[in-house]
Amino acid sequence: MYVECYDEVGAQVYDTLLRHTLQDLKLARAISAIKIFIEPREPIFIGVVKLEKASTPIYLNDIASYKLEENVLKITVENEDYTPNLLRALWEKEGRINVTQPDRYKIEVENPTIDAEKLMIHNPSQELKRKVYDALFRIIPEGFRMTRNASEGNLISIMCSDEIIDEKWNKKFNEVIEEVKNQ
């Protein structure tokens, strides 16, 4: 973890803020490298985070058993931890009107169109990325609404300013991305 800023005291403050934010969101172990570059004189903020590999996705058959009877997919939940995720996925794919939950462990889907075998319930990689974006947006200076996102794969890369971002900062942005990518 490294914060680069011409002002050493400001860099230390950002380092502390970053560490607390990562700790609050329980992200420290999920990140293999991070670099923050701040230039307050020409308001620019660059944050690049390299993620560790996330857990494998959770599919319907990992948390429940199911069978198709008379055009109704009957699901018996075996791991309640993912029931909210399961309901959200079913509502998104089938519509709320077609999904009922007669009791805590049973869910029924009328006229299902999904392939139950391939239904992903929870993607830890997406959740991890969402949390990292949350962390970055918590430490971006107030009013920095102009953003450029160059995230890909296991790298989350964002550059922000409170005014239109000058093209000259693209070189620095790419340098920080390469530096973190190679760590």
3-state DSSP assignment of residue 43: coil
Q: What pLDDT score does 106 carry?
A: 95
Q: What pLDDT score does 10 carry?
A: 85
In CATH, 2-54+124-181 is 3.40.50: no
Q: What pLDDT score does 6 carry?
A: 83
User: Domain 58-122: which topology?
Assistant: Gyrase A; domain 2 (3.30.1360)
pLDDT in tens, the chain (183 residues): 678 888 888 889 889 999 999 999 989 889 999 999 999 888 999 999 999 988 899 999 999 999 999 999 999 999 999 999 999 999 999 999 999 999 999 999 999 999 999 999 999 998 899 999 999 999 999 889 899 999 998 999 999 999 999 889 999 999 999 999 998
Asked if 34 contacts 25 with a C-beta cutoff of 8 angstroms, the reply is no
Q: What pLDDT score does 90 carry?
A: 95
Report domain extents, the chain.
Answer: 2-54+124-181, 58-122
Bridge partner list, 59: 120
Q: What pLDDT score does 105 carry?
A: 93
Using CA atoms, how far residue 87 sits from 20, 78, 97, 106, in Å, is 33, 14, 12, 11
Of 31, 43, 50, which is closest to residue 5 (Cα–Cα)?
43
Q: What pLDDT score does 55 carry?
A: 84
Q: What pLDDT score does 54 carry?
A: 81
Q: What pLDDT score does 7 carry?
A: 86
